[in-house]
Structure 1
């Protein structure tokens, strides 16, 4: 929106409060304002305030990098110099005045603002989440009969503030009047509480399990597993304690039982599918025979009632393999280990399902580790032989692998993995050439995530946790994500278009809890510390929402002390 439309209303539309206040309030350098967000964020949620205010070099990922986030398509228009109206805390609180501010810098959903009149003085710049309901377009105060009051610290600088504003706003741009409405609409999910679907069984990652949506927060779904024998029960009979409940009390009943185990994921997650998907593709499902038969019939007919999430709500694979690229049981490949997301391993196709899905296992994994997982054949997490070598990534070889090669001088047990030798020894073949997966959901006109950027990321081993993170490495479409304040052993490889990555400020926007970081200082210059002081505390494990015991080979989720 062009701010001159506001100016053209005439100077009378600029309602200025002329009262001069004594005892001016001095703000701290690069202060942060605590406002009440439209979606209430948990009080113990981590805030970006100190990190943004104290570190000028923080490189927050732009919202435009994340196509699944609100207003990502147009966020590049939120640029330096954009004018806003923002509540003025440097005035008498009883006046509830506003003032014009300019954007100095944008990082994620946050903007560094400077009140007009400070000119080149940055001593009172402040950060704010642009989703805050106290951020408005220029002209909002006039429309809503609110006063524009210059900050007390600079009231003496100009005698005619009306004329100053008119001159300042000539040719300036501001937010559209429906900015917040669009932002909130973009947060709405296509799913709703009470819908049924199938999701990964966190207690057996080789299986799916019937679920019901308990709640939706900013397009993230909290799912509750349905007990065997109750998967197709009428809505009124499903409750956390098994008792009969009227339909309108189901959601409240589930919410009231925080101890009920559940599973978090984004609505675009590849880990969720419509009811009957498992039976259609031949995937194992943790359910009784009656469910398997009836759910398949429902899926074939496509006649879902309103209690079932229909097919068109789910994100489907869009990429196609090159012609004649057929996957077969026993073929070898390189794949991301689903229970150790910092590791890409030698893997084998154990079963070929319908519709392009395959079951994959990690070669040489310990027997007590869950080791079979479903990937689509076009998944960005499976790779042709040599992917790791091409990108300089250490390929995790089978534990029992032995080689005739020893390429490290003076090493007693050094082993170099050789794919040709391994294929001969196992009498197996590699997967066909699946091409270089360069397709991206991001337009070439959009920025992409890069090394050094900070963001909010889901800890995929405990997917209810959202943490401050840094991109530390790129490998094709893959990004290495480091959780700030935690050991590198917990890093995870994630596709750059993953719906588990978010711009700084998303949690505050959606009202989702952002995990507090360790007490150690988080700086852009040192994302790879080996250990951090955490006041003797270990990272809290919430196994009720994580893959059982994390199953990370010899890696417990705890900090070095």
Structure 2
């Protein structure tokens, strides 16, 4: 007779007398749940009792097993009748059907995994039978128990030696071990404690956990669960059950079992290679674990899901689904970065990369890609697919073999699928592709402003709080970076009551610009790009380098030399610093001569690993970077400190002793050099995101169709300095014209934040100007006007735009002029302009700079020489305003920034929501004649040189605003040749 399995188990592990109550109760709980989960099926109950007999539980531990169930009922508030049972030598319990809680029965049914239907009668019978059965058995005395425990310890040592040998052979063959290691013994009724909701009142309510080695960390335990699930895929049926199935479904079931075995072999290969991705020590620890138990259903579901994901990501069969999900993303990325030669400098992150196919495809396009994945199952499987699969279709799986739904025939279930769908070189791994394991929010904590693009597919709904994801994506993107997303909102945590998370409807993402600094791309696919134009400039740059003699010749060639050596595209592109309100004005003002900065040395990228970048120090000389230790200019803008190769070669030529001398002579003077503050990059991002206005701010807006009045309006969108405003029905109750571009929820009227169309709340009442609004708003505006007149603090509402927000000057009645075109409608067509407005010019300005002058009564004088100002002033009895009242013409040096033919982006004055590629066509004093590329000259418009409606190249791309494509002239139809 063998001793108690629990007692001997404790003895074998040296824990008989000093074993913790928690560990002992774990074994008892496994036994009790195992038996209770099968008691309604006669054959299953017989096997459960055989399981107990084969391990010879002592009566104490059988009673403890039943007592666990009693404890659960007591905790649930069910009182159990107790009586003195002489056979047990003490007080025990008697349980009726009504004593058994419904919740306990439901928990046991979950543990039974549909193999048995458990009822309250079954639970009560099991408990009472357990007490009755052990009561008839003789108790094992302490001396006999020690003797049996010693015998069990010897047998246990033998078992451990056998298992250790099996584990060694298992490791040697790369996780293709024999079936004796993971045999049908796993089908014993040893259900994992984790899947139970039972708790013990002796353990202060702590969740009961399986026995575990404290030296094994959480990651190894997680890997063990995955390993257990992967290797148990083909071992869910006992031999007896297989025989029953084969008798009734002979041919098909043999085929099913064969398919299951094939899947099992592939899963073993995945585990065998996949564990190595976490390092040798981690793999060794995981392989050493010999705990054998029924796999957790959660992890078994991951195994089945992995097989289907392999089909979707890495097979020909999955191509239609990949095309629907990945192809749009890839197309946008290709269009956004069309220059293939420079793609290696474009860094892309793919969070939730799964099995790595999307990240792999982006790396094949030449981008530097970093995939991120949290799931250990996905990481191991993707490692196998990316690093161990080289031949196309070298493996075969049967992903649908266990599916019964939507199968037309048995053949659908056993249909093979080969993977991968493409072959890869065994020697040439993509140098620009890496994977990082961990939670997306954690691994990106120190990665601010590092990526040009973030691509997510079926990812954002895995978040407990999607705003965390969006803010993190924004933080890791460089200024002007792009986030591309595709996928549904299925919310992975929706069914998990214990998880706190936030769910948002799709309409939330339509208002994503509400998040500071993040704007939605409108019609991204149709937005035009300057890439081809810039690529041509690069080609021209290369030609210029070959023409050394011509570059040193004429002054014209000297200008081209500046394009090459100074790193500027003048005179082909208007430089950023030329624009009065360019977004990085405050930023670039700090980049002055003598400031020392760090920059990346890209020439060392091929020697670097693990995302390490070589950096060196540089001193700003105009727009150049001069490398420290160099007496010559080095015009490659490129980022542990490593001097450029040409500096290192010169230093090394003096030998090792001279090297330290060069380093000291270079570094010591830099200790007192000026540099940029640590928050310099944050400043740059702040300049992009900090705006004067926010969504729903209220302003007074000049009526586009009736310039004699203003109307209250709300800010609808904000993009950089440009804001979209519209008049809402709740603020305006007057008549609305059919062509009113400012009224209604769907209207979009775009203006600059300093536009003459915008005024602060109360401006009309303060300046006695026309106001179209509701009575409520008029009362509010009059109170503000009265306060301004008295010098008191105006009662602005929280969303009201104040004078300080609109303009830097103090608003006063004398600061505005009512300006109208001479003629009978001068009063009805006048507009309010501030005295500093760039839209007013001195008398004779049009004639001086050859601009068409509109005459009185709307007449248009094509020839300014036919109009005489002196005669006109004398006839009208007026005097000319002094020229000193108007904005002066900038000096020639400043105007040279706007070279004739230079490119820029410009809004359309007639359709102010449009921004188009444009060219400087002519200078008209302080006005620029702007030509819209692809359009006739008759569409040219005049802009002040300081206008906020013209922008540098890339403004639209940086702010996520659509850049209209140039108009393409239609080619005339070819004439058909006459037949002779």
Q: TM-score range, shorter-chain basis?
A: 0.5 to 0.7
1:507 pairs with 2:956: yes
Cα distance in 2, alignment partners of residues 359 and 287 from structure 1: 23
Whether the 8 Å CA contact 1:198–1:272 is kept in 2: the answer is: yes
Equivalent pair of 1:362/1:372 in contact (CA under 8 Å): no
The 3-state SS of whatever aligns with 1:471 is strand
TM-score (normalizing by structure 1): 0.56
1:374 aligns with 2:854: no
1:458 maps to: 907
Aligned to 2:820: 360
Matches within 5 A, 1:135-214: 138=639, 177-187=678-688, 188-214=690-716
Asked if residue 51 in structure 1 is aligned to residue 543 in structure 2, the reply is: no
Residue aligning to 2:870: 420
Alpha-carbon deviation of 1:279?
A: 1.8
Q: Report SS of the residue matched to 2:725.
A: strand
Change (3 A) 1:83 1:474: farther
- Which structure has more strand as a fraction of its residues? 1
Q: Deviations over 1:74-108 (max 9, x none)?
A: 526658997622778975999545455999x9999
Residue 361 of structure 1: SS of its match in structure 2?
Answer: coil
Shift, 1:265, TM fit: 1.8
Structure 2 equivalent of residue 469 of structure 1: 918
Judge conservation of contact 1:224–1:262 (CA < 8 Å) in 2: yes
Instruction: Indicate conservation of the 8 Å contact 1:87/1:96, yes or no.
Output: no
**Separation in structure 2 between the aligned mates of residue 190 and residue 120 of structure 1, nearest angstrom:** 41
Decide whether the 8 Å contact of 1:481 with 1:492 is kept in 2.
Answer: yes
Distance 1:457 1:415, change over 3 A: closer
Higher helix share: 2
Deviations 1:398-449 (A, max 9, x none): 577699xx9x9xxxxx982223344455x44244325263459x99998874
For the pair shown, which has the larger CA radius of gyration, 1 or 2? 2
Query: Matched residue of 2:931: which SS?
Result: strand
Rounded to whole Å, the distance in 2 between the matches of 1:509 and 1:106 is 27
Aligned CA distance change for structure 1 residues 28 and 289 (closer, same or farther; 3 Å): closer
Does residue 533 of structure 1 match 2:940? no
In structure 1, the residue matched to 2:773 is 287
Q: For 1:460 and 1:314, how far apart are their aligned partners in 2?
A: 21
- Segments of structure 2 that go 5 or more residues without pairing to the other structure are 1-338, 347-451, 454-477, 483-520, 542-562, 564-568, 734-742, 788-793, 973-980
d(CA) in 2 for partners of 1:32, 1:206? 57
* Displacement after TM superposition at 1:471 (Å): 2.7
2:245 is aligned to none
Alignment root-mean-square deviation, CA: 5.3
Please list every run of 5 or more consecutive structure 1 residues that lacks an aligned counterpart in the other structure.
1-26, 127-134, 143-147, 232-256, 321-352, 409-413, 519-531, 537-561
Following superposition, the deviation at residue 371 of structure 1 comes to: 4.5
SS in structure 2 opposite 1:380? coil
How many equivalent residue pairs? 400
Deviation at 1:382, TM superposition (A): 1.6
Equivalents in 1 of 2:717, 2:601: separation in Å? 33
Partners in 2 of 1:107 and 1:360 — Cα distance? 46
Q: Which residue of 2 aligns with 1:277?
A: 763
Cα drift, residue 494 of structure 1: 1.8
Shift in CA distance, 447/394, structure 1 to aligned 2, threshold 3 Å: closer
| SS of the residue 1:210 aligns to | strand
Structure 1 residue 213 displacement after superposition: 1.5
Query: How far does residue 275 in structure 1 lie from its aligned partner after superposition?
Result: 1.0
Q: Does 2:576 correspond to 1:63?
A: yes
Moved more, 495-504 or 34-43: 34-43
SS in 2 for 1:383: coil
Partner in structure 1 of residue 842 of structure 2: 384
**Once the 2 structures are TM-superposed, how far is the Cα of residue 183 of structure 1 from its aligned partner?**
1.1
**How far off is 1:274 after superposition?**
1.0
In structure 1, distance between residues paired with 2:664 and 2:908: 49
Give the CA deviation at 1:457. 2.3
Q: 1:494 aligns with which of 938, 943, 949?
A: 943
The structure whose RCO (Cα within 8 Å, separation 6+) is larger is 1
Give me the whole-angstrom Cα distance separating, in 2, the residues matched to 1:446 and 1:97: 42
- Per-residue CA distance 1:452-474 (angstroms, 9 max, x = gap): 34322222222222222233333
**Preserved CA contact (<8 Å) 1:205 1:373:** yes
Looking at structure 2, the residues matched to 392 and 379 of structure 1 have their Cα atoms a distance apart, in angstroms, of 21
Structure 1 residue 380: Cα displacement = 2.1
Cα deviation 1:95-146 (Å, max 9, x = unaligned): 545455999x9999xx9999xxxx9999xx89xxxxxxxx9xx5xx67xxxx
SS in 1 for 2:848: helix
The whole-number CA distance in structure 2 between the counterparts of 1:82 and 1:30 is 24
Note the C-alpha offset of 1:30: 7.4
From the superposition, tell whether residues 433 and 501 of structure 1 become closer, same or farther in structure 2 (CA, over 3 Å): same
Residue 84 to residue 93, structure 1, CA distance change in 2 (3 Å): closer
> Take 1:479 and 1:224, find their aligned partners in 2: how far apart are those partners?
30
Query: Where does 1:475-490 land on structure 2 (aligned, <5 Å)?
Result: 475-490=924-939
Q: What SS does structure 2 have at the residue aligned with 1:462? A: coil
Distance in 2, matches of 1:318 and 1:459, equals: 30
Deviation per residue, 1:161-208 (Å, 9 max, x gap): x98997998789986543321112223012222221112223434432
Deviates more, 1:76-85 or 1:278-287: 76-85
Distance in 2 between residues matched to 1:482 and 1:356, nearest whole Å: 32
Measured after TM superposition, the shift of residue 295 of structure 1 is 0.9
In structure 1, what is the Cα distance between the partners aligned to 2:749 and 2:604? 41
Q: Is 1:485–1:517's contact at 8 Å kept on the other side of the alignment?
A: yes
Contact 1:269–1:315 at 8 Å: present in 2 too?
no
Instruction: State the distance in 2 between where 1:211 and 1:159 align.
Output: 66
| Structure 1 residue aligned with 2:965 | 516
Normalised to the residue count of structure 2, the TM-score between the two structures is 0.34
Write out aligned runs for 1:402-441 (5 A): 416-423=866-873, 427-435=876-884, 437-438=886-887
SS in 1 for 2:715: strand
Aligned to 1:394: 852
- Mapped to 1, the partners of 2:604 and 2:856 lie a distance apart of 61
**Residues 95, 363 of structure 1: CA spacing in aligned structure 2 closer, same or farther, 3 A cutoff?**
farther
